[in-house]
Amino acid sequence: MGKSIFKNIPLFLIFLIFNSFLAQQKPIKTIEIGTKQDTIRKNDTIPAKEQLEGIVKTKADVERNSFSTKQTFLEKNAQVIYQDMQIDADYIRIDWSNSKIYARGGLDEKDRVKEPAVATQAGKKYEYDEVIYDYKTKQAVAFNARTEESEGVIVAQKTKKYNDSVFFMRNGKYTTDTYFIQKKDTIADYYLLAPNIKLVKGKESSQVITGPIQMYIEQVPTPLVMPFAILPFSEKRSAGILIPSFGERQDVGFFLNGLGYYQPIGEHFDLKILSDLYTKGSWNLRPEMNYLKKYRYSGRFNAEIGTIVRGIKGLDDYSRSSTYKIGWTHTQDSKANPLFTFNAAVDITSQKFYSNLLNNNYIYNNENLKTSQTSRVSIQKRFLSLPITINANATYSQNFSTGITDIRLPDLTVAMSQFYLFKPKTGMRTGLLENMTVNTGLSMSNYVQTTEAELFKDQMWKDMKTGLRNNIALSTNTSIAKYLTFTLSANVDNVLTTKTLEKRYNILTDKVDNISKNQFAGFSTFSTSASLQTVLYKFLNFKNGSTIEAIRHMVTPSVSFNYTPDFAAKNWGYYREFYGSRGEMTKYSIFEGGIYGAPSAGLTQSIGFNIANNLEMKVKSKSDSTGVKKLKIFENLNISGNYNFAADKNKWSVISVSSQSSFFNSKLTVNTMLTLEPYKILYDATGNNGVRTEDFGHFSLQGFNLQLGYSLSDEIFGKKEELGKIYKKKGEIRNEEYYFDEDNYARFTQPWSLRINANYAYTRGLSLFGTKMATAGLDGNIKLTPFWNITGRASYDFISKEISQASLGFSRDQRSFTISFNWVPFGVYKVYDFFIGIKANILSDAIKYKDRSFTQPRSSF
């Protein structure tokens, strides 16, 4: 022992002599400790078993050492480096006996920390007011620590570091406010407060796990409280709970809409299970699975099953009903396989789903007004060496008003590409023969019409009809006298079915029985037509100086002759007869109601006409660079009808008139449809059953429809101002940037848009009393400020004299989050809800405003 002390006396003396000199030096100083050479005396010796793994490097403006307490003091621009840990602070104290480093930030005149201490490890920065670091165990305790992770920052009252991977925090606040992170503001506009937080860091990802957590907005606590939170900081998708919107609906009570759980499954799948909960007992479960394979396909499976409860149990207004919905969408990437495509859009719901909605999103989108929907799955196959395309489709069509469902499972079509029958080997095609085209194909279909009660049951399969059809269409055209286009066409259909119809009058029931027979039968039909068409122009020029410079009227008249045989004749064998209730013979087709319909009855030798009009004019315009502006009076005005020479009576059909126009640079659109009955109609005593007479020339109105639409916006009433060119002064008000005028008033644009719609319809037909429909609607939005947006929608029914649908929405774009409020004050569903959506990707699915899948990392509570 004596020898050891004697050997270290020279080192001890040298250290004393140069101590004051070294304390005044700024360069980094290296202190090697934990070796035999640094032993001072027995009480100061650090055992060899506690040797450090590296070198402690220090520097400061002022540095001093205390050998009695075995401490080093660093003041002003102090720095300590040990392995991958670097601490920069205003004041640092190293206690060599306890292997502790104490660091503190810069103080103000009231001894409050104004400049934090900074610790850097593995390229990651941590800020503290105070920190105590054990450089042997690498554990640390920090106060008011600020830790940045991914897009956010955690500020904790007390943080304890157990190792490089695990941190425990007390009273921690997490926020993604960019102003707070960039230190433009000392207070975050929102934060999530948790009494206890655990931060787990990994090589590729990190995550925060908390106990009870509550959201604060502008330091005000909100009702958004959850028992725990999991915030993953990773580019990969992570599992977690999804936060709902909340509000109240008049019929089912207060609710949470969209409470759920998200779970990624492998690289290509993710699963969401959402729920809607209502205080009056209603509930809805909504599982949803998304899948994606880049450059190949993407899709989604979703379902909804729920029970809606209205009223109070035991009272007359009480009702309870169940609903379901099954959906599947699949989209193939257009570049995946150009010769084979597969797509699906399936949406199957219970009959009363849209009249008993539990998911409020349907209400805001006005889907509660749906009367029908169609689902389809389609496959298409093409060939490089064959001019053939194969299409297979399965369709499921629902009519919610009648309760009828049409199913085609499947429809198979083999179509041959159009070809010219007499195409010349060289040169241009001329004449009728060389321009003759052929289109042909073969189709097979299985079809059934059923109800929800019989869906996919034995009776449905018994009623299913199967058929095979071949179609051949020939067409050719040529020019006559340069100005006329002559077109000749023919169509042939060959049909084979597995069911036929037999009709019998039942004396006991006094009704006609329709008897379906399972047997093979077929028919062939054909028709021909010839048409002649031309285009006529008429120009009307006005004098110089006139506001209207010219008017152009373009007329496209066409006339056609159509011939179809009478397939009800006995020689065809497609029609039969049965005795009616009064003994009269009634003719019917054995293919009536068949999968491809029945052959037409009655000879058709008709002439059809159509006159299309287009009317435009040129007017002077100062706003146009050419000085002339073109206005469309009628984009399209059509008049059509036909006359059947072979008809026994009522040779004229109804006359149809339709028009389409737009005015004021297409801001106003006008569409009309008019139907005129050329014959006088006689009605019975009830006025409901009318009969067409042979008294021609009355032209009574049988139907009329008018649709108006007008779009308004701020741009109509003036040019859009570029504020940066008008006002040079720019600044902030409550962290929002504005331009200011000379009087220091904030200037900003207020973009808005408004769409006005009106619809009037009158339908009469063969009834004395017609039906009317008249509605008017508004749909618009306005930005009151650059960060406030209001949207609204309303529709008024003039017949029922009530508001049929209306909704109002407010949204506020904050610095780091969006607040939205939606309200439906009228109609069957009166509902409002409130929602908060965080902008940062790390929280946009936890406190979410829009769904995202396979795009950003998932975060959750």
Strand (E) or helix (H) holding 12? helix 2-17
Helix (H, G, I), strand (E, B) or coil at 23: helix
- Judged against a pLDDT cut of 90, whether residue 299 lies above it is answered with yes
Q: What is the pLDDT of residue 34?
A: 37
Q: What is the pLDDT of residue 444?
A: 94
* Cα(166)–Cα(201) distance, integer angstroms: 6
Biggest alpha carbon distance in the chain?
141
Confidence of residue 624 (pLDDT cuts 50, 70, 90): low
Q: What is the pLDDT of residue 30?
A: 45
- Burial bucket for residue 120 (CB in 10 Å: 0-12, 13-18, 19+): middle
Range list of β-strands (E), 251-349: 253-265, 269-278, 283-293, 297-310, 319-332, 340-349
State which of 230-239, 752-761, 801-810 shows the largest mean pLDDT: 752-761
Least confident of 8-22, 69-83, 213-227: 8-22
Q: How far is CA 467 from CA 462, 464, 499, in A?
A: 15, 10, 9
- Burial bucket for residue 347 (CB in 10 Å: 0-12, 13-18, 19+): middle
Half-sphere exposure of 395 (CA within 13 A, CB side): 17
pLDDT, one tens digit per residue, over 327-352 is: 999 999 988 898 999 999 999 999 88
Residue 285 is encoded by which pair of tokens?
Answer: 């479960």
Range list of β-strands (E), 622-770: 628-644, 655-663, 668-683, 690-713, 729-733, 736-740, 746-747, 752-763
* Cα(292)–Cα(285) distance, integer angstroms: 24
Torsions phi, psi of 22, nearest 5? -65, -30
Q: What is the pLDDT of residue 13?
A: 37
pTM check: above 0.75? no
* Cα(693)–Cα(226) distance, integer angstroms: 76
Q: What is the pLDDT of residue 735?
A: 60
Q: What is the pLDDT of residue 11?
A: 41
Torsions phi, psi of 692, nearest 5? -75, 130
Q: Is-contact 836 224, C-beta < 8 A?
A: yes
Average pLDDT over residues 566-573: 92
Q: What is the pLDDT of residue 168?
A: 92
Q: Is-contact 369 805, C-beta < 8 A?
A: yes
**Rounded (10°) CA dihedral 117, 121, 124, 125:** 0
* Cα(643)–Cα(611) distance, integer angstroms: 15
- Judged against a pLDDT cut of 60, whether residue 319 lies above it is answered with yes
Confidence of residue 44 (pLDDT cuts 50, 70, 90): very low
Confidence of residue 853 (pLDDT cuts 50, 70, 90): very low
Q: Is-contact 290 270, C-beta < 8 A?
A: yes
The length of the chain in residues reads: 861
Torsions phi, psi of 49, nearest 5? -70, -15
List, in sequence order, every residue forming a beta bridge with 688; answer none if it has no partner: none
For the chain, the average pLDDT equals 84
Q: What is the pLDDT of residue 22?
A: 40
* Cα(451)–Cα(102) distance, integer angstroms: 79
Helix ranges restricted to H, 49-200: 178-181
* Cα(493)–Cα(98) distance, integer angstroms: 99
- Judged against a pLDDT cut of 90, whether residue 860 lies above it is answered with no
814: amino acid identity, one letter: Q
Strand (E) or helix (H) holding 179? helix 178-181
Q: What is the pLDDT of residue 851?
A: 35
Residue 699 is encoded by which pair of tokens?
Answer: 């032209």
Q: What is the pLDDT of residue 708?
A: 94
- Judged against a pLDDT cut of 50, whether residue 778 lies above it is answered with yes
* Cα(218)–Cα(532) distance, integer angstroms: 75
Q: What is the pLDDT of residue 51?
A: 55
Q: Dihedral sign, CA of 36, 42, 47, 53?
A: negative
Q: What is the pLDDT of residue 45?
A: 36
Residue 825 is encoded by which pair of tokens?
Answer: 């004050």
pLDDT, one tens digit per residue, over 739-757 is: 888 888 888 878 889 999 9
DSSP 433: H
Confidence of residue 630 (pLDDT cuts 50, 70, 90): confident
Residue 351 is encoded by which pair of tokens?
Answer: 């009959």
Looking up tokens 């979703």, which residue turns up? 302
The CA angle 7-9-13, to the nearest 5 degrees, is: 145
Average pLDDT over residues 629-652: 90
Q: What is the pLDDT of residue 237?
A: 67
pLDDT, one tens digit per residue, over 667-725 is: 889 999 999 999 999 888 787 888 889 899 888 889 999 999 999 888 776 555 677 67
Q: Is-contact 656 623, C-beta < 8 A?
A: no
Structure-model confidence comparison of residues 8 and 384, the more confident one: 384
DSSP 363: H
Q: What is the pLDDT of residue 18?
A: 39
Least confident of 24-28, 260-264, 377-381, 450-454: 24-28
Q: What is the pLDDT of residue 705?
A: 95
Residue 432 is encoded by which pair of tokens?
Answer: 């009728």
List, in sequence order, every residue forming a beta bridge with 833; answer none if it has no partner: 247, 822
Residue 702 is encoded by which pair of tokens?
Answer: 């049988």
- Judged against a pLDDT cut of 50, whether residue 129 lies above it is answered with yes
- Judged against a pLDDT cut of 70, whether residue 638 lies above it is answered with yes
Q: What is the pLDDT of residue 786?
A: 80
